[in-house]
Structure 1
Amino acid sequence: MPELTGMQVKFTVLKNEDINIYLDEREKSDLSRILWKIQELRILDGKPPLNTYLVVNTDEPYATDIVRIMQANNHWGPISDSNQAEMKFEGNALILAEAEEEIK
């Protein structure tokens, strides 16, 4: 889908059904602790603990329409944001760019 060229990965989405099917109890517990930690640190940063999102799978036939709506509302395109990573595929694996650590 050419409309996805330049799309940056801003979110990580996990399907709840996949979590229940593919993770064992320890992994589910680890994930729960990670999500709790993020929520608590967001609160300390003065952010809402949880956001709610609409998720569109890029292989859906209407995904192009969604991209156009986002473009019309200035929510699409190259963004210079250090919290975003560019999407890159190697074979069928999604590779995220390595984060640059700030040296203090």
Structure 2
Amino acid sequence: MKVRFTVIKNEDAENYLDDRDKSELSRILWKIQELRHLNGKPALNTYLVVNTDEPYATDIVRIMQANNHWGPVSDHNQAEMQFKGDTLLLPETEGAI
């Protein structure tokens, strides 16, 4: 599955970013919102987020597969996740902090 979203837990931003970082993050998010609006897209989207280590994650993947929203990666520069039986396999990451 192509990685299409970046999710930052609000609590992590609050706990791990200093005031300058928070200001920069806010500026970047505002810029994306404004440019989406100028391009005729909704300024804000709302998403459901599921941690892959939750016991129901495989159920979510099956629902996505049934609705053609889970498939092979077409971009070799994107991370790939595989669904094998009842196990969701995630790629190993190098240099993770």
2:83 matched to 1:78?
no
In the other structure, the counterpart of 1:68 is: 62
2:20 matched to 1:26?
yes
1:78 shift after superposition? 2.1
Unaligned runs of 5+ in 2: 80-90
In the other structure, the counterpart of 1:101 is: none
Identity fraction in percent: 73
2:19 matched to 1:16?
no
Q: CA RMSD in A?
A: 2.2
Match of 1:89 among 74, 89, 92: 92
Partner Cα distance (1:30, 1:92) in 2? 24
Give the 4+ runs in structure 1 shifted more than 4 A.
none
Letter in 2 for 1:43: H
Unaligned runs of 5+ in 1: 1-6, 95-104
Partner Cα distance (1:86, 1:79) in 2? 7
Letter in 2 for 1:51: N
TM-score, length-normalised on structure 1?
0.74
- Cα 1:60/1:22, change in 2 over 3 Å: same
1:31 shift after superposition? 0.1
1:11 shift after superposition? 0.2
Match of 2:33 among 31, 39, 58: 39
1:89 shift after superposition? 2.9
1:91 shift after superposition? 4.2
